[in-house]
Amino acid sequence: MNTYIYGPKNDPYHANKWRDPYPDDKLAELKELVDKGKETNVEFVWAIHVGGKINLGNPDDIQKVKDKFDQLYGIGVRQFAVFFDDAATDNTQLVSFMNDLQKKYVEAKGDVRPLIFCPQFYNKNHAISRGGEGYLRNLRNFDEDIQIMWTGDYVVSRINQSVIDYITDLIGRDVYIWWNYPVNDLGRAHLLHMGPTDALAPNIEHMSGLVSNPMNQAQCNKVSLFSIANYTWNSEKYDSQQSWQDSWQRIITDDEEALEAFKIFVQNCAAAPMSFGDVDESVYLQPYFEAFNKKYYANEDYSQEALELISLKKLKIVLLC
């Protein structure tokens, strides 16, 4: 894993106040992230969200974007992204705007990597239902080095060759996947996506990169990120089930009891919505529950079955009379 894209919508200087420079204290916080990225060989990409908040033909606005990039360049940022998602913009000058940034800023700097662009229509469902295919075809006129993001057929989507073929046929280049997984903020913040990472097909062609949109629960992301790293390293041999199981002992390394508890916990999260996989949850408990239920509903003595469940130390049973 070698890229971290910074673009939180709750950072006003990334979005609504994009024209304003960061205050010194906020800039210092970002520099810590940039420095940590350099230390760990991870490219820190700073994104600006101008969609719906910019006049693309206004030279002053174009210069404001470059000025903002310059402030971040000053603390070591060497790649930038421009976001237009979830906002309506007059796109008449979009191609000239993006090409100007790529040619007159990125290439002029000499040590900045190509721009990453997130379009207004960023998945197939949006493109078809909202009339965005012409917009996407127009992106063919972008400078060839600009990378274009895509979430798939939907906001949350499986990633396979047909998903890639649809968008690459429109934009005329390889596509950069913004994968909305294991993120859980779409009305499911109470659920943790810690099951097998099943929705990535092997041997995909014409995909220039893949970044994961994670959950707010940072530590819980490690299960999926471990598998995503496996996939991006060698998609041909990627085995989602094996990768899932391998992640456990790489996350809990020094406590056998904690490791056993962690294995149980992630299996209890295996069938969370948006996990994509066809996985039964808490399979290890099913025989015990079946035995208990058989006795319980037959009005037979179930004390032994209840004790077996309790002895597993995997759940607490409260018997109500």
Name 291's Cβ contacts closer than 8 Å, sequence gap at least 6: 305, 308
C-alpha dihedral sign at 22, 91, 135, 98:
negative
Give the residue carrying structure tokens 């800023």. 105
Q: Are 184 and 221 in contact (CB under 8 A)?
A: no
Active-site entry in 61, 70, 85, 86: 86
Give the residue carrying structure tokens 């295996």. 270
Pairing relationship of beta strands 43-49 and 3-6 according to DSSP bridges: parallel
CB neighbours of residue 304 within 10 Å: 10
Mark 211-232 as b/e (b = at least 16 C-beta within 10 Å).
bbbbbeeeebbbbbbbbbebbb
The helix (H) or strand (E) run that includes residue 49 is: strand 43-49
The residue count of the chain comes to 321
CB neighbours of residue 275 within 10 Å: 23
Pairing relationship of beta strands 3-6 and 147-150 according to DSSP bridges: unpaired
Q: Are 84 and 50 in contact (CB under 8 A)?
A: yes
For the question of residue 145 being annotated catalytic, the response is no
Name 43's Cβ contacts closer than 8 Å, sequence gap at least 6: 2, 3, 4, 37, 78, 79, 113
Annotated active-site positions, please?
Answer: 86
